[in-house]
């Protein structure tokens, strides 16, 4: 029996939609969930699990890792050779304050994203490492980062720099956040108020800057994990959906909300229930009524535009990001929440989506971040699977993904904190055995 290529693709895509894009439930309450974790169900992306939020008072971070944090902090300070700053002169303190003020104002996007990651992913240990400093940090002094991490963890320090960071960050936080998001307030808002804020400030969110857009969404939804995830997913879809690609978010979301040419229906068909309900809430608070009849939406083959990704450059960014995340040995990254981590590490919305899909394929074999990084770097069987899956999901050729892999691998020997991914995978052992014979 002969089956056409077109039929094969259609069947494969329909299977992907039914099995890998199942619906999940949005928490429909009038107060946002402030401290949450993902705990159930399946979600929107190929192979991506969605977890519903559950209230959990994290008290700023998971306290069971505080001893580990303190040990890492001590080790970092000793290695860097930072001297006791309690004897700084008034003149040096004044210069330090001026430099600190400039850094906080300039790096406000990083401040928002870093605090959010520390709250939900306990990333403070990563921020203290040499690897992160060299790869990500734009702060003029790493002492500023140490001070911020201490402050966010609630750690007290007698170091003058730490005390300056704590004092200036607390005093200037409101004005710093207002630079990025004019609607920033400190009091907790209702879901209705938050969704209205989102609809009002869509002009502050841009497909051209995924990291800044993530930071703005974090502030709009007051760090509520579930709502940040849902809004950021809507943002990614709006920027990458074939019918909307190349259009700025403000225009795309307008067309989606008004369901112009049924684009809203088609976008929801590839997303999950969280996006559908968020759109419903935005329409309600914005007074938008769509009277289009309920009609079946035909399956869309390859709905995400991926043709502009530079696979070689993307592969290096992905590899370095996996190395970075592997530093936090006990990090528990749920498949959907990885979208938020890649949102600050990739350059474009389509890169965030592709990185998330690749991560989920790898995480089906291991939940350890260091093992996931090692699978990506060393395991040829995993790479073959990735090539096949990404072709099926997005019709994209990623065979050049590891062209610059040696540049990434070289970092493992340069940074002690990356030693955790030095282990022999099954593939390496088989290859070693063949060489011996």
- DSSP for 149-197, written as a single string: HHHHHT-----HHHHHHHHHHHHHHHHHHHHH-TT--SS---HHHHHHH
pLDDT in tens, 338-387: 999 999 999 999 999 999 999 999 999 888 888 899 999 999 999 999 99
Mean pLDDT score of the chain: 82
Q: 304 has which bridge partners?
A: 241
Tokens of 186: 């400190």
Distance of CA 29 to the CA centre of its chain: 25
Cα 288 to Cα 100, 257, 278, 282, distances in angstroms: 45, 7, 13, 8
List, for residues 55-75, the tens digit of each pLDDT value: 343 333 334 444 454 445 544
User: How confident is the model at residue 403, as a pLDDT?
Assistant: 97
In this prediction, residues 88-102 reach a mean pLDDT of 91
Q: CA–CA separation, 383 vs 388, rounded Å?
A: 9
Q: From CA 357, how far away is CA 359, in angstroms rounded? A: 5
pLDDT in tens, 169-219: 999 999 999 999 999 999 999 999 999 999 999 999 999 999 999 999 999
Q: With 0-12 CB in 10 A as exposed, 13-18 as middle and 19+ as buried, what is 94?
A: exposed
Q: Is pLDDT at 5 greater than 60 in this prediction? A: no
The candidate with the shortest Cα–Cα distance to 234, out of 256, 212, 251, is 256
Widest CA span in the chain: 86
Residue 432 has which token pair?
């070693």
Of 147, 153, 304, 337, nearest to 237 by C-alpha is 304
Secondary structure of residue 338 in the 3-state scheme: helix
Question: Is 205 or 155 the better-scoring residue by pLDDT?
Answer: 205
At residue 335 the predicted structure's pLDDT band, cuts being 50, 70 and 90, is: confident
What's this model's pTM, rounded to 2 decimal places?
0.82
The pLDDT tens digits of the residues spanning 239-276 come to: 999 999 999 999 999 999 999 999 999 999 999 888 99
Each residue's pLDDT tens digit, 33-60: 444 444 333 334 433 333 333 434 333 3
In angstroms, rounded to a whole number, what is the distance separating the alpha carbons of residues 217 and 206? 11
Q: What angle do CA 194, 200, 206 make, to 5 degrees?
A: 100
Q: Are 357 and 47 in contact (CB under 8 A)?
A: yes
90-94-95-101 Cα dihedral, nearest 10 degrees: 150
pLDDT band at 88 (very low <50, low <70, confident <90, very high): confident
Residues ≥6 apart with Cβ < 8 Å to 87: none
pLDDT > 70 in the chain, percent: 75
């Amino acid at each position: 029996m002969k089956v056409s290529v077109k039929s094969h693709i259609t069947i494969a895509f329909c299977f992907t939609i039914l099995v890998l894009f199942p619906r999940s439930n949005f928490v429909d309450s009038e107060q946002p969930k402030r401290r949450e974790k993902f705990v159930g169900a399946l979600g929107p992306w190929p192979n991506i699990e969605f977890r519903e939020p559950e209230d959990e008072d994290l008290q700023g971070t998971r306290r069971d890792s505080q001893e580990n944090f303190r040990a890492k902090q001590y080790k970092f300070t000793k290695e860097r050779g930072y001297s006791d700053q309690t004897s700084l002169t008034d003149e040096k303190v004044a210069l330090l304050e001026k430099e600190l003020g400039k850094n906080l104002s300039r790096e406000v996007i990083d401040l928002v994203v870093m605090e959010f990651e520390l709250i939900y992913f306990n990333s403070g240990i990563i921020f203290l490492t040499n690897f992160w400093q060299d790869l990500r940090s734009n702060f003029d002094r790493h002492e500023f980062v140490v001070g911020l991490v201490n402050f966010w963890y609630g750690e007290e320090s007698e170091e003058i720099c730490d005390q300056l960071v704590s004092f200036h960050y607390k005093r200037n936080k409101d004005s710093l956040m207002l630079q990025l998001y004019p609607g920033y307030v400190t009091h907790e808002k209702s879901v209705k108020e938050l969704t209205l804020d989102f609809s009002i400030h869509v002009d502050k969110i841009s497909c051209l800057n995924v990291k800044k857009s993530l930071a703005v969404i974090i502030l709009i939804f007051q760090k509520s994990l579930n709502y940040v995830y849902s809004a950021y997913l809507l943002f990614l879809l709006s920027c990458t959906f074939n019918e909307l690609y190349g259009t700025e978010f403000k225009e795309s979301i307008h067309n989606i909300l008004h369901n112009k040419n049924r684009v809203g229906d088609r976008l929801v068909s590839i997303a999950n229930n969280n996006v559908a309900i968020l759109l419903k809430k935005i329409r309600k608070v914005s007074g938008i009524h769509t009277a289009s009849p309920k009609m079946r939406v035909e399956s869309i083959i390859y709905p995400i535009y991926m043709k502009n990704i530079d696979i070689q450059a993307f592969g290096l960014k992905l590899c370095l990001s996996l190395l970075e995340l592997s530093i936090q040995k006990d990090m528990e990254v749920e498949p959907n929440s990885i979208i938020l981590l890649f949102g600050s590490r990739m350059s474009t919305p389509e890169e965030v989506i592709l990185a998330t899909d690749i991560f989920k394929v790898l995480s089906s074999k291991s939940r350890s971040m260091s093992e996931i990084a090692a699978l990506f770097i060393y395991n040829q069987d995993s790479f073959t699977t990735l090539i096949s899956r990404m072709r099926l999901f997005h019709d994209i050729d990623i065979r050049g993904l590891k062209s610059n892999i040696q540049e990434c691998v070289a970092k493992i020997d340069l940074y002690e904190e990356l030693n955790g991914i030095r282990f022999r995978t099954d593939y390496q052992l088989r290859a070693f055995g063949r060489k011996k014979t």
